[in-house]
Each structure stands twice: as structure tokens, then as C-alpha cells.
Structure 1
Amino acid sequence: MLTAWSFIAFLGLFVLIGLSSLLYNSHNSRDYYLASNSVKPWLVGLSAVATNNSGYMFIGVIGYTYTVGLSAFWVMVGWISGDFIASQIVHRQLRAKTEKTGEVSYIGVLSSWLGGAQPVYQRLAALVCLLLLIAYAAAQLLAGSKALHVLFDWPLWAGAACGAGLVLIYCLAGGIRASIWTDAAQSLVMISAMGILLWVAVAGLGGASATVQQLREVPDFMNWFPDDLAFPGVAGALLFALGWLFAGLSVVGQPHIMVRFMTLSDGAQMNRARLWYYLWFSAFYLMATLVGLLSRLYLPEIGSFDAELALPTMAQQLLPPVLVGLILAGIFAATLSTADSLILSSSAALTHDLLPHNIEKPWLLKLSTLLVTAVALAWALLSAQSVFAMVLMAWSGLASVFVPLLLVLIFGGRPSQTTAIAMGVAGLLTALLWRYFGLHGMVYEGLPGIFAGVAVYLLARGLPAFRAARRVSSP
């Protein structure tokens, strides 16, 4: 009973924070999707990290670490390194172009980057973006429902519906401002929950030294270079880490994360926002991976155990009811902080990029949010995939479509509308085929997807037909 009340109290706090954004609502699309470019650096950083550290971190990463062991650290090192490299190249320029173009969506900024409109690209990109973002949102709702299923024995549909309902309440109230404010609160709950569980778990095993000794006794669990990598030893680990570096670099292709940096009140304060983001991100990812390792000691029955339920199951074993409620709130906060961002980005893609522009009526903006939430909930209820697989599919797909074009634009390229479409199609198809043929076990599919998109641009520069198309469509 105490677990339920603790959980409900935290959820109530998130909803109240989101609803309070109504006091600052300007009731137009720029405010609904970009908070009128008025967000402070610390809020941008905490919101972006909460959006990134989603149910994937609480459910997917911990489940993955439970299964593979110490080699999961290569994922963390590669991901954070790639994310940091990408931020050095992209964030400031994207914020500047947002202000210059006056666009309210990520796709809108890309399609207007060169000064002229690319309506066909914008609509096609919005269609693909909608599909992948809704799949991603469904994964977050599914992650939250798994936690509620373990702790309260709720059916999976009830947890997913609860998450969708809460997201809808505060997104309809205040748009992205509500999302960012609740993200900041959720960041505090998420890192507190993970830190408490890590501390209790290590203490329960007799301290740090005893914990390391017990981990070493698990067969093949503490191996930096496992035998199942594509290539043995250091070479395989480096290739594996390189793939995940590109997974981190793929963050700049995620509209729901990048829009946080687009809302920054002053582009000159980007470094301060990034400092908040990376300090919080590194600490949280490290703790999540360590908890994943420890979960194998507390839950050794790997043959019949769903690894993605490791965290809530472990919390039940180790913590008193009030703190179990905190852990559940942390898991749910992680899923909500990403789900609301995905739903709002999907709504922006629908109303601003796919449908005719200048949709300013508040009821139409909110109707699109309601529709997107309903579709994401249905997808979550019907899905048979794991959270980890669904997130990676959406993440790599978005990266393969948008990262090649964004990099080309930032480095001074001027692709025509035809070339931009071809780049996105080539990147997405390459990533999908890479996963279909099972090559993602060797290297993250976003890497060949990004390379394929860039290769299409380089090829187009040397083909007469593409050169002519570029001259015609260039401003």
C-alpha cells in the first residue's frame, strides 16, 4: 500500500508541474512546440537528458547489461562519446537556424536550411518521422507498463494506458513547456532512484570489494571482450564501440531531443545547457549500467527470467515500500519524459510538416496530440517486440534519415530537394536491410545507414542529372 501511495504522490507532482505551465501559455504553435524560445539553459539540459534517458535506460540498458555483462560498458562509452562529438558540430548551428528560419519543427528547419522551401522533402520526411516517433513512443509506454506489471500485477494494457493518459493531460495543457518542466522534475527523481538502488545493492552484497569478487565468479560475465562479438578480442570490442559511437552521434537525428536545444532562450548559452546535459547523462548512464551488473547477482535465474524486468524485480527485493514507489516513479518518469517529447514532436510533424502550414488554432494542435497519443497507445498494446529492440529500430531509422542531410548542410553542402530525398531513402533502407539480415549484431545499423546517405550526396555531386536538379532547386 505504501508503494502505491509513494508512486501516486510522485505522479501527482509531475502532473501539477505540467499543469502549472498553463500560466505561461501563449496559445499559438510557436509556444506549443518551442515554448517561444524562452527556456533557460539548465532546464534545456535536464529536459534533454530526461528525454534521452528514457525507459530504454531503466528497462532496456539494465536488461541488456544483465544479459551480456561487463561488455555493456562499450555501449556506454561509445554512446556518450558519439553524442558529445555530435553536439560540438550541430547544436549551436541548429539553434541559430531555428531563429533565422522561424520554423517551429525540426524537419521544418532542415527543409528551410538553405533559405528556400523544399515542400516535397518536408512532407515525405514528416511521414517517415511520424511512423518512427510513434513506434518510439509506443516503446516508452510499454516500458512503463512492464514496471507496473511487476510491482502491482497490473495487466500490461493498464500501465500503458495510465502513462498515455498522464502524458496527454499535461501536453494538452502546456505543450513543450509543460514537457520540459516535468522533464526537469523527472530528472531529479530518476537519478535519485537509481542512486539509492545502487547504494543499497552494493551494501547488501558486503561492499564494493565483495561485490566485484562475486561478479567475477559469474561465468563469462566480467569479460571486456566477449566471444560473441563479430571479431575476437580488442578488434571486436573497438568495432562494437565504434558502432555505438555512431548510435550516440545519432542523437542529432532525433527530433524529440534536438527540439529541446531549439527552445533555448539564448544561443550564446548553449555550452551551459550542454554542461548540464553531459554531467547528468554520464552519471546516470554509469549508475544504470552498474545496477544492471548487480541485478545478475540478485536475480540469477536467467533461463526463465525476462531481463527487462530486472530493475523493478530487484527493487522489490531490496527496498522498503516507500522507496519501491520511488523506483517505480523513476521508471515511469523516464518513460513519460520521453513519451511526451515524442508525442509532441509527432504532433509537430503532423500539423506543421505533413499538413498545410499555419495551423495555429489551439484545438487543432491539441487534437493532433490526442490522435498521436491514441495511435502510440494502440501500438504499445499490440507490440510483441522488446523495449530495447523497438527503441533501437526507431533511433537508427531517424538517424539514417536525418543525420546525413544535417551533416552535409552544416559542412556547407547544398543538396537539392531530389538529393535530400534520395539521401533519406538510401539511409533508411540500408539501416532496415542491415537489421533484417541480422548484421546489427556486428555493428549498429545506423552506422551504415548514415554512411549510405552521405554517399548518395557525394555521388549526386558527380552525376549530371543531379547537378542540374541542384541548380534548379537551389535558391
Structure 2
Amino acid sequence: MHPVILAEMLIYCLGMLIVGYYFVRREMTQSDYLLGGHKLPGWALALSERATGESAWLLLGATGFAFSTGLSSIWVFIGIPIGIIVAWIFLAKRFMKETQKTGALTIPDYLAVRFGKHAKTIRWLSALLIIYFFMFYLGAQFAGAGKTLSSTFGMSVTAGVLLCAAVVVIYSCMGGFFSVVWTDVIQSFLMIATLVILPIVALIYILLNDLSIHDSLIQAGPSFSSWTGGAVGLAIGVLIVNNFSWFFGYMGGQPQLSARFMALKNEKEANTARNVAIIWTILAYGGAFTIGLCGLALYKTDQFKDVEMVLPQMITDLFPSWIGGILLAGILAAIMSTASSQLLVLTSSVSEDIAHKALGLTLSEKALVRLSRVTVILAGVVGTVIALTSESLVYTVVSWAWAGIGNTFSVAILLTFFWKKTSGVGIIATIISGFISTVIWISTPLDEMLTSRFSTFVIALIFGIIFSLVFPNQQEPTTDVKEAS
């Protein structure tokens, strides 16, 4: 590893720890620790939501996908931004208002409050679903960090996993939501710098060296230069649906993202956050798509054993080491921002949804915060063990998590927000059917024909509607968060 790059990486990690140390000195309530106590500015929450939502998948996976498929990858780069933009325009303020009205700190908490008669069942099912999937999801982030640090910085995979896990666990434990959000802000700037500066420099290099993206697409093969990947007939629709289907997971169902909506404090801050998030999203996804296509002009399609390394290779080839180190830190930033938020979601499910609400433990605010910090450490340890021992399982469950959690909760949230006939039994049916259908769909050849990111949403929606109609809510007053527990 180049000494300049190593120094920059260590400075970055130290900076994250300093942020955590700054907030550990504050007196915090459980609401502060898990949701920032509605004290954070909207622009910071927007940048945090974007950094959290875009892990190394955007910088490595999405750019590698564009490099390996060509123009047909555009449907991913359209579907995801539309989902993000729709969520910020139509769901963010609704989350804020519902949170302020109910006092809920988590998605399971909110759903339980809204359907008081079935509160405990909803709380247990939701919390256990999050804990199961997110424990492996967290392990996947740590494993991804090990792979990234090994490929880009020359560090061993084990050392990379341990370094990332240690830094994330320490600053998340110390400052909770405050330190996670403010470190996300730093990380979002690093990520956007990489995704904006790199394609500009790459395009200039291509122009000055008489290279052509158009010619490289044609040379790569007929599917690369086609917006539909060479598909015909029904296959075109399947390709578009499969790539576009990432959209559904952004409809309020990702707890680590919806927490930022719930933390907004007023209408003005929500408007600011919406604008910042939309601008960041357009720049980031436009940059990632361009990087993939530029890679085709710079390298041969068979040059990489792992196409996800096209972005790090471009940085190494096009920038001096001191600038390259800063941009490469953007990859580590993407991983850490997502991992820390997932860690906090796991913590909230254990300390708030299960210990405090489902089990009804009577604890002081200090004791709740202490329990949350202990949970952060334990979850971090388990996630690290998973990352070091079960890599293949981890990456399988990551696919499950997007559909099993994101699409399942998206249906539950959309029904609760926008359909008055939604019942508690309907929400229970949504959660159970979403989980079961995801596991079955991904475990069979069905997923190769039509992605579970689409099927889970449709199946959970159908079950939610049918069971809400068959088992409507009894007329009862809306309970507050304390009564529902």
C-alpha cells in the first residue's frame, strides 16, 4: 500500500472516532440515541439518508454492473433514483408527522401503535424479521469492507473486516444516531466527490486520447450497445422489471432510511432535506452510470476477474496517489455509513421494540441508552463473526434482505399511510407473506425468471389487502405509544 494512501485512510478512520467521542460526552435520552431527538438539521439527515442508502454497492457494484452490461443497465439507474425521489416527495413528511403524532422511534413501533389491538404480534414479528435479516446484512457490509480494503489498499481481508467493524462499532456505540448522522455527512461528501470527479476526469482522458465510448460499446458485443440488452418480446419487459424493481424497496420499507424521515423536525427542514437528497441522488447515479461506460472505453471487458474493481482501477490509473487515496476513501465511507445505520436499526429492534415495548421492561432513560450501547457492541461482534466465517451465506441473505425487509415493510407502510381499510391482521399477513415468499422465491429458479424484489412486493400487497378486507379492524380509539406497548 502506498504510504500516502495508508496515511489518508488512517486519518479518515481517526476522524470517524473523534466524531463519536464528541457525542459520547452528551447526556442522551433513548429518543436522542435512536432518532436524534428531532434536533438534527434537514440537510444533514438528507446526506445521512443518501450515504446510508448507497453502500459500496453503488461505487463498486453499480459501476461494475454498467461496465459488464452496457446501456441496458440504465434501467437500474432509472429505477433506483425514481424510488428515492418519490420517497422524499411523498413519504418523508408523512413519516415525520406520524412520528411526531405517535412518538414512535422505529417502524415496528409505529405499526404497533397504529394497530393497537395487534400491537405485540406486529412488534414481535417486525423486530424479529429485522434482527434476523439485518444481522447478516451487517455481516455482509463488514465482509465487503474486508474485500474492498484487500483489493484497493492491499490489506488482508481479515484485517479489513476487523478494522471496519472496530471503527463502526466504536463510533456508533459512543454517539448513537448523532454520531452516525454526522459521520454520514462526511462520508456522503467523500462518496459524491468520487462519483462526480472521477467521470469528469475519465471523460476528459477519453477525449484527449481519441477513445470512444460508442465504439467500445459496439466492440464489447451487440447486447452492450442495446438499451434492452439485445432482448426481444416478453424478455424486454422482464429485463426492465427486474432492473427497475429496486424502486419498490425505497417506498418506506428500509428501516435505516426511514429513520431519517422520522427524525425530521419540521416542514421547512423536510423541504430542505428533500432538495438536498434529490440533487445528491441525480449526481451520484449519473456519475456511477458514466463511470461504468467510461470503463468500457478504457479497459477490455475481460480485463477484470471482478468487474466491481473497475472504479478503484480507474482511480489508480487517472489520479496521483494523494488524490486517489481521498477518492478511494469514498468506497470505505460507503460501507461504513451503511453498516453503522444497520447497526443502529438492530439496536433499536432489540432495546426499544423487544426489551422496552414487547417485554415491557421498566427502565430509566440512562438504562435504556446503556442497553442500546451494549446491544451495539454485541451486534457488532456477531456481525464480525458472520463476516469472517460465512461469506457465501452473507451475500445470499443480502439479496433476501432487500426484498424480505424492504419490500415487505414498504407494503405495510404504504397500506397504513394511504388505505383507510388496512387492518392489524392485514399488516400481520403482509409481514408473514413477505418473509415466506422471499425465502421460497429466492430458493427456487423463479428468481432467475422474475426477481424477488418485484414478486415479494406484489405478494405481500395482495395478502395485505385480502386479509384487511376479510378481517377488518374493530372500531377502537387510536392508542398512544405507551398504551400500545
TM-score, normalised via structure 1 length: 0.90
Please give the residue correspondences for 1:35-184 in structure 2 after superposition, counting only pairs within 5 Å.
Answer: 35-114=36-115, 118-184=119-185
1:320 match: 320
Aligned length: 467
**CA deviation string 1:422-455 (max 9, x = no partner):** 2111122222322222333444313221222221
Partners of 2:447 and 2:233 lie apart in 1 by: 10
Give the conservation status (yes or no) of the 8 Å contact 1:147–1:312.
Answer: no
1:19 match: 21
2:482 match: none
Structure 2 residues without counterparts, runs of 5 or longer = 479-485
Change in 2 beyond 3 A, CA 1:41/1:60:
same
User: Do structure 1's residue 451 and structure 2's residue 452 form an aligned pair?
Assistant: no
Deviation of 1:237 after TM superposition, in Å, equals 4.9
User: Do structure 1's residue 311 and structure 2's residue 318 form an aligned pair?
Assistant: no
Query: What is the DSSP-based 3-state SS (H/G/I as helix, E as strand, rest coil) of the residue aligned with 2:474?
Result: helix
Change in 2 beyond 3 A, CA 1:241/1:265:
same
**CA deviation string 1:188-223 (max 9, x = no partner):** 111112323223322332359833234233223222
2:414 match: 407
Give the conservation status (yes or no) of the 8 Å contact 1:416–1:473.
Answer: no
Give the conservation status (yes or no) of the 8 Å contact 1:59–1:387.
Answer: no
Partners of 2:9 and 2:101 lie apart in 1 by: 43
Partners of 1:62 and 1:336 lie apart in 2 by: 19
Please give the residue correspondences for 1:54-453 in structure 2 after superposition, counting only pairs within 5 Å.
Answer: 54-114=55-115, 118-207=119-208, 210-216=211-217, 217-220=219-222, 221-227=224-230, 231-233=234-236, 235-240=237-242, 242-249=244-251, 252-300=252-300, 302=302, 305-357=305-357, 359=363, 360=365, 361=367, 362-385=369-392, 391-453=398-460
Partners of 1:243 and 1:287 lie apart in 2 by: 21
Deviation of 1:117 after TM superposition, in Å, equals 6.3
Amino acid at match of 1:302: D
Deviating more after overlay: 278-287 vs 103-112: 103-112
Partners of 2:158 and 2:434 lie apart in 1 by: 34
Partners of 1:11 and 1:230 lie apart in 2 by: 50
State, as a whole percentage, how many aligned pairs show the same letter: 25
Amino acid at match of 2:15: L
Deviation of 1:299 after TM superposition, in Å, equals 4.1
Partners of 2:238 and 2:5 lie apart in 1 by: 44
Change in 2 beyond 3 A, CA 1:199/1:462:
closer
TM-score, normalised via structure 2 length: 0.89
Query: What is the DSSP-based 3-state SS (H/G/I as helix, E as strand, rest coil) of the residue aligned with 2:212?
Result: helix
Partners of 1:303 and 1:206 lie apart in 2 by: 22
Of 9, 18, 21, 2:11 maps to: 9
Query: What is the DSSP-based 3-state SS (H/G/I as helix, E as strand, rest coil) of the residue aligned with 1:205?
Result: helix
Give the conservation status (yes or no) of the 8 Å contact 2:315–2:324.
Answer: yes
Deviation of 1:67 after TM superposition, in Å, equals 1.8
Partners of 1:219 and 1:72 lie apart in 2 by: 14
